[in-house]
Structure 1
């Protein structure tokens, strides 16, 4: 016996609507979800490539919260865990390290040694003396005798003794300022959190310094490297897989005094703004190490950067010197595409 059309059971309207909703949801195509906000004193842009709008929204809120917390915890000249740590280090007595700053200090000690002391965040007093522990540095530059007084005390990351969670400084002149490192550490940790949330393709850009994972569809992430002269983009780089790209330049934070420009990248050997370099760009798998390395290589300058890069394990480097010459490792040359007329290039293998 066959059923007539009148006796067949129709699909309920609610079930039909549910089927259509699931079908449309399955057909949603991935797209780039963008968010912008301020953190670490700079504009941060987060791009997430996904078809899951809710995941992108949750991830963006998470990154905002993560970076805001880290910025407040690690700020060198506002009240917080880092400020309190500096107060306790100045006493010379042992104390229990704050868990929000201890991992950074341990990592900074390792990078200080590997960079032959060119990365030295223990010289916070020198940064303050120059006026760079300010949101609006104005100068004037300090007097030579003021600089000499700090250099004679030789504050160093090696002065900090750490035993488990106990910490002390053997040099009362140590004053930590992790500004040349905290941003890289922070965006590395934020990207790790994104991964844990299920984000597979994203790029987190903090004022031109960035970390990326995955890729937006079939094409790689592509970023521009700023021209040190301020005239647009010097070069572009395609990001391959999970990488960080960091640039240190003399155009980022500076002030003018009597016609001379004084930038914020200070040479711990002289106490003066480092000379001979306009910018350094590095590519590395670790954003925190890339951040510290770009500063150390800037200070090392055109002659010594290959040795310092080798010690830090950084094989992709581009240094633009005062004459506009682009010094590059062979691995970096293969990654950089200059926009417009290319500068004179010198390829230097690492020792």
Structure 2
């Protein structure tokens, strides 16, 4: 996803949670702002990264039990409930073991050990209430369906507390814009040198997902159907625009499955989707300029 337009601005680029970030502001962020952003990202990673052996979710994967709920737990897991309901269980926060079985594990082995269905009764196994998070038996939580979007929202809030005017927070496909519009190119999933359109994002968030990202082996990629453990093969890429990056990220995931469009309409999220046979679909209210 390529960003375009807007006058030259101060830019801070860095790596975090395994991806590249860029924060654009009118003036360069000082050390207090950068330290606050770094601390927020580090806390999120320590809680939710299944790639870290010392993270909270890795602890629960080994031992289960009850732990203090991270600050994002309620909002993210409630959103997962909506995703699961809308997609008839295709999206499930306990999908981590299925991803590991297909090779997307902490060691990045990319060795496929076969499909593994995710327990459909995840709400019985994973509960969050009264400030605690409980997993009744070991399982691997994966918040990839919306977690990066949630973190982008957190970072954008911190940046806005230091900068009063326009800002852009870009985490390699998950983008939050506060203030003036930014034109974003929608990268073709099969040719990164091409775009299928341009979307102007103003005081909103745009998140994208595609099967050519984090792909390996024979047709394997990171978007699995939790009911079967098999990768999705009908949708190639999705883009969603919402008031928050978490909701845009969630809908970008949901659009790989039946039911995603209905949840997008319920949440007031606009979207574009490209299928693996090259068709481009979009929501009724989408403002994207598509080259079709």
Q: Normalising by the residue count of structure 1, what TM-score does the alignment of the two structures yield?
A: 0.72
Residue 194 (structure 1) shift: 1.6
Residue 114 (structure 1) shift: 4.6
More strand by share: 2
CA distance in 1, matches of 2:172, 2:74: 24
Alignment correspondent of 1:122:
94
Residue 308 (structure 1) shift: 3.8
Check if 1:75 corresponds to 2:49.
yes
CA distance in 2, matches of 1:245, 1:166: 31
Check if 1:234 corresponds to 2:189.
no
Mapped contact 1:48–1:199 kept (Cα < 8 A): no
Q: Deviations over 1:200-226 (max 9, x none)?
A: 2110111122101012xxxx2121111
Number of aligned pairs? 283
Residue 137 (structure 1) shift: 4.7
Mapped contact 2:173–2:209 kept (Cα < 8 A): no
Check if 1:102 corresponds to 2:67.
no
Check if 1:43 corresponds to 2:20.
yes
Selected match of 1:273 from 231, 244, 259: 231
Alignment correspondent of 1:24:
none
Check if 1:154 corresponds to 2:154.
no
Distance 1:237 1:109, change over 3 A: closer
Aligned-CA RMSD value: 2.5
What SS does the corresponding residue of 1:120 show, helix, strand or coil? coil
Check if 1:290 corresponds to 2:290.
no
CA distance in 1, matches of 2:260, 2:246: 18
Greater relative contact order, per chain length (Cα 8 Å cut-off, separation 6+): 2
Residue 101 (structure 1) shift: 5.5
Which runs of 5 or more structure 1 residues have no equivalent in the other structure? 1-29, 344-351
Selected match of 1:250 from 211, 218, 237: 211
Which runs of 5 or more structure 2 residues have no equivalent in the other structure? 1-6
CA distance in 2, matches of 1:31, 1:230: 27
More helix by share: 1
Distance 1:110 1:143, change over 3 A: closer
Distance 1:127 1:306, change over 3 A: same
Q: Normalising by the residue count of structure 2, what TM-score does the alignment of the two structures yield?
A: 0.86
Alignment correspondent of 2:166:
201
Residue 102 (structure 1) shift: 3.2
Moved over 6 A (4+): none
Distance 1:138 1:167, change over 3 A: closer
Residue 183 (structure 1) shift: 0.9
